Chain A
């Protein structure tokens, strides 16, 4: 009996192992070549940033699916999860994802490690309607790897009433001295003057960069070596801290809620956070470009453009290319505006009907034309971790500015060696 039982057990284990190691099914040939009339629909998997950024793409999909006999599966992910999942899948020979949404700051890492397909080789090119500056991050030499889909760029979110109470028209806020003045007056009236963004290192650094640009500083030099312990950086940080003391630090949702409810006057934001209408309590304006009236104007808006690309190990490159072209089409992009989309197209952002409904898009268009990208370096995620953590320590008062910036400079030099 024991022998029989042992034999049966051994047989079961052997069968289980054989089943586990079963031969994989042959992947189908690129189904992008299938005709729309083909019985089996092609399945595309889209990996997108959750929230408005991905929602506008999802809303556009049914028409494409119907026309091309395609079914699309969409994964909505947070910023960090999106980065990890794309990167983790990139090492596989046959990828799980076809179309991916990519933050501009990941470009260097992804192209260096062969994560993205060369769109130029697949026949894609930019048309003249796309705001040229937004395409800079999408190319390596002359090859296109990404298409700018969602025009995220830092803008100044303000409460209309509190700015008016401080004696300003939105168009008059054109220097950092004006920001300070509004923040002081609002603070004196018992409200929060200026809100800075807390949370992750990336949030803190991104929120601070427009201030740094206004003071003529930058986080790296021309050789991508860190420059975070410079007089310009310190001056910008002091101004930032002064504004912080007139308000506070909050996360994204609370910044929007505080400004919309009239609890705070000013804070930097992204167009994807809030869709103002003509009668909303808050609106956007461009981030000032000068320190004061005697200063010369600089580019102070920072890009956070969400781009779309094709995973290099996608099994459906042709059909995914078709989808990418459809999503970048001016008509599709125009339709996305009603759902909170911000195309990187002049014809969409300056469309008369659109501006009548969403006047803030003229501001966004201006910012998109003159924005600055974060440094294109593979180590950017680690860079912001280090710098953001040290800046946070200074903001919270656990380190002095000299201690924090000196520690950040040393750690970043080690990283960039």
Chain B
């Protein structure tokens, strides 16, 4: 005991000071290369007119805030921001609510949980582009099975992706369909860890199914729910593949998202300066939207 006290009071030797830093070094190097450098690079280029091809052998110019001014003055960018926020709110709410209901339902099954769990996960295992192409075939106004069913039932048919009244809702539906399993998986894992004793105690106290859900289930999975919501917000905010494959942001910009806008006006034309400005704006928006969780995590 004495020797331990003595050891803790003396100044650490050089090797002892260096060791923890050395242990941290690989992580810091990876973080610096994969996170800090791209972020600084993007921030720097957002103040330039850098075009990857045109400025390969020529210097680019600093345009200060011109890219940001152009972005904010562009009605199509504002529309893309509005669409992205609207899409994110609707998609995340639907995915979390439906995912939670599915998780609670599967968790309550006495038999067949494993089978149902596997079945429900299938859409999430598919790549987004495959999902988009499959839905495009199913919703084709000519040979699509959905319109054929609707016609057979005497219901009106639509040109789902080319009509500004239906395109947004259709992509929302596809995204919700694909991502419910992710929410289900996280919440199902949280539900598995809720002690059955709490339900038993609640039942003894006379709590019904709804009361058990609100006073036992929800408080126990609230951390999982918050994490799940945050992950879905970040992921949905970056929505790109489905929009790019199915509508290209049209018709009339009704499905345009921030990432689609940045691809169309920045990346596709190799205007990385303009694209970087958009990426910075998007990062700030994601930070704002997820700030409630980050604040909570810091506390």
Contact = CB atoms under 8 A, between A and B. Distances in A.
Interface stretch (B171-179, B187-195, B250-258): B250-258
Interface of A: 2-3, 6, 9-10, 13, 80, 83-84, 87-88, 90-91, 109, 112-115, 198-201, 248-251, 253-254, 257-258, 261, 263, 381-382, 385, 389, 392-393, 395-399, 407
Contacts of B247: 199
Contacts of B248: 199-200
B140 A254 contact: yes
4 residue pairs, one from A and one from B, having the closest CB atoms: A396-B252, A91-B56, A257-B142, A393-B252
Given A248-B162, A389-B76, A257 B252 contact: no
Contact of A113 (B15, B53, B143): B53
B22 A91 contact: no
Contact of B162 (A80, A88, A90, A198): A198
A209 B141 CA distance: 25
Nearest to B51: A113
A2 B19 contact: yes
Interface of A is mostly: helix
B164 interface: yes
A253 to B, nearest CB: 7
17 contacts: A2-B15, A6-B15, A87-B52, A115-B53, A199-B248, A200-B248, A200-B250, A253-B140, A257-B143, A381-B268, A382-B265, A382-B271, A385-B268, A392-B251, A395-B252, A396-B252, A399-B252
Contact of B269 (A257, A381, A397): A381
B130 to A, nearest CB: 15
Q: For this complex, into which size category does the number of interface residues on chain B fall?
A: 35 or more
Most chain A CB within a 10 A radius of its CB, from B18, B19, B142: B142
A113 B54 contact: yes
Given A13-B26, A109-B53, A396-B252, A251 B162 contact: yes
Interface string B258-283: 00000011011111000000000000
Given A251-B162, A382-B265, A88 B251 contact: no
B162 A393 contact: no
B251 A249 contact: yes
Interface string B21-62: 011011000000000000000000000000011101100000
Given A13-B26, A87-B53, A393-B253, A398 B164 contact: yes
B159 interface: yes
Contacts of B159: 248-250
Nearest to B137: A253
A6 B26 CA distance: 12
Nearest to A91: B56
Contact of A396 (B16, B251, B271): B251
B252 A80 contact: no
B56 A113 contact: yes
B47 to A, nearest CB: 19
Contact of A90 (B26, B56, B268): B56
Given A13-B26, A80-B268, A251-B162, A392 B252 contact: yes
Interface in B148-193: 159, 161-162, 164
A261 B270 contact: no
A10 B53 CA distance: 40
B83 to A, nearest CB: 13
Given A257-B140, A258-B142, A90 B22 contact: no
B270 A87 contact: yes
A153 B142 CA distance: 25
Contacts of A3: 15
Given A13-B26, A198-B162, 7 more contacts: A6-B15, A113-B56, A253-B140, A261-B142, A381-B268, A389-B250, A389-B253
A93 to B, nearest CB: 11
A396 B254 CA distance: 10
